[in-house]
Structure 1
Amino acid sequence: MSETINQNITVKELDELRLVGFRVLCSGDQYIVEIPKASSRLSKRIDEIKQVMNPREQFGAFMVENETAEEDGYWVCVEVKDFEDIPSDMVTLTIPAQRYAVIAYHGPNHQIMDAYHDLHQWIEENSYVRRKNTWHIEKYHDWRDAEDLDVELFDTI
């Protein structure tokens, strides 16, 4: 289900997501360096993952306010139909069905926070509440060039 709010921001409900990939855990200022490395590594090893839904999309997942150490970090993944024979150095993550405010972003990874600022401002202006202790999603349509990302930012509301 998708409801268009304005030309830039929509509210979407996603079904449960099953993700397989790599967990990135580092100091805050290093994510901008480490996430692209994990994304490249995942691209090179996509053939090792069974039941991939769309090999041309990657998902990033994170919690703004994690409650446990196991929830800390950033997951770089692909969506799978079901978990099967997961490579030993990869992780799985199941994200429940949730509702999100969504904005598309095209540009360099170091400016993505500007899009998040606009999204968070819109959420507040439209009387939604951010659910910071749930999974937030970044759906990458093109991630190969850190200076020219094509990504949808899903902020849980």
Structure 2
Amino acid sequence: MEQMIETNEIQIISRSFSAIGIKYACRPDEKGAEIPKAVESFLTRLAEIEHRTGNGLMIHGFGIETGDSQKEKWSVTAEVSKIDQVPAGMDAVEIPVTQYAYYQHKKGIYSIGDAYSKLHTWILENGDYGDGYMVEVSDDHFQVVGEDRVIDVYAPFRYRSE
């Protein structure tokens, strides 16, 4: 179930996510090299996941627990309509209904920083970050390179009065 409130380019959406994928962790300066390798590896196993919706999810903040505060956690996943079986070496991710600031970025992965800057500014002007995970949604083959590629970005959000 999705509830949406639109405010210019940023929308407030309440929704949940169910996904199956692989957890990772690396230092922030390694993400530029590690994420493409992780996606490539994940895609070799995509067919093992049942009930895919056609969306690929990059979930930031949900990943391997390393005990190293210098490493950022993240997961490469396929969104699913239901979770029956989880392939070996993968994890199920069920994110409960969360209120998000949502932005649809239409210029591909190389300018994704623009989307995060826009969201960050809007969030701090209108409230604060909520509890939960940052989620990027693209097609389940993560075809995000190119000026015409769309990436939906969800950032947990709460109004100041909450």
Q: TM-score range by the shorter chain?
A: 0.7 to 0.9
Where in structure 1 are there 5+ consecutive unaligned residues?
none
Name the SS for the 1:146 alignment partner: coil
What TM-score comes out, normalization by structure 2 length?
Answer: 0.78
% identical equivalent positions: 22
Name the SS for the 1:32 alignment partner: helix
- 1:151, distance to aligned residue in structure 2 (A): 0.5
> After the TM superposition, which residues 1-157 of structure 1 pair with which residues of structure 2 at under 5 Å, given as runs?
1-6=3-8, 8-15=9-16, 17-52=17-52, 54-55=53-54, 57-63=55-61, 69=66, 72-126=72-126, 128-131=127-130, 133-141=131-139, 143-148=142-147, 149-157=149-157
- Cα offsets for 1:29-84 (capped at 9, x unmatched): 121222222223333322211122x12x10111239x9x65895111111123322
Alignment partner, residue 160 of structure 2: none
- 1:86, distance to aligned residue in structure 2 (A): 1.5
- Contact kept, 8 Å, 1:32 with 1:109, in 2: the verdict is no
The residue type paired with residue 6 of structure 2 is T
- Contact kept, 8 Å, 1:143 with 1:150, in 2: the verdict is no
Where in structure 2 are there 5+ consecutive unaligned residues?
158-162
- Contact kept, 8 Å, 1:135 with 1:156, in 2: the verdict is yes
- 1:145, distance to aligned residue in structure 2 (A): 4.5
- Cα offsets for 1:67-110 (capped at 9, x unmatched): x6589511111112332231112122111110000111133434
RMSD: 2.5
The residue type paired with residue 107 of structure 1 is K
The residue type paired with residue 111 of structure 1 is S
What TM-score comes out, normalization by structure 1 length?
Answer: 0.81
Going from structure 1 to structure 2, the CA distance change for 1:92 and 1:4 (only over 3 Å counts) comes to: same
